[in-house]
Amino acid sequence: MLLNFAIFSPNTSSDPLAMRQSPSLYPADRLTDMQSILAAWADLETAYEIEREQIEQWSGSEAMKQQLLADLEDRHQARRALFQEQWEKLNGRSNAAGSLGTVLA
């Protein structure tokens, strides 16, 4: 059976007018806010992973490592909750406008 994948190809039109007329998913200011939150959230996750690895590789006692990891996890969850709250506020505005929903859990 032959399949026609052309219907799934992205719009590769080089016509700038066609690009301007296509509706955007989010307004520019909201898109900027979303990108900022996601970038900061990614930085937080990266810093957490680095610190977690450093603790795991530390030569201290296992009990101390577990305590440090538990403290790190608590701080991480508190910081992560702030980003989650910001994302939900931003997404709440988009849900009122008919958004696709949250992308982060």
Q: What is the pLDDT of residues 48-80, one digit of tens each?
A: 999 999 999 999 999 999 999 999 999 999 999
Q: What is the DSSP letter of 76?
A: H
Instruction: Assess whether pLDDT exceeds 50 at residue 105.
Output: no
The pair of three-digit structure tokens given for residue 31, joined into one six-digit string: 């898109």
- Helices vs. strands in the chain: H and E counts, helices first: 3, 0
Q: pTM for the complete prediction?
A: 0.61
> Letter for the amino acid at 6?
A
At 81-104, the pLDDT tens digits run 999 999 999 888 555 444 434 444
Rg (CA), the chain: 21
CA 54 to chain centre: 24
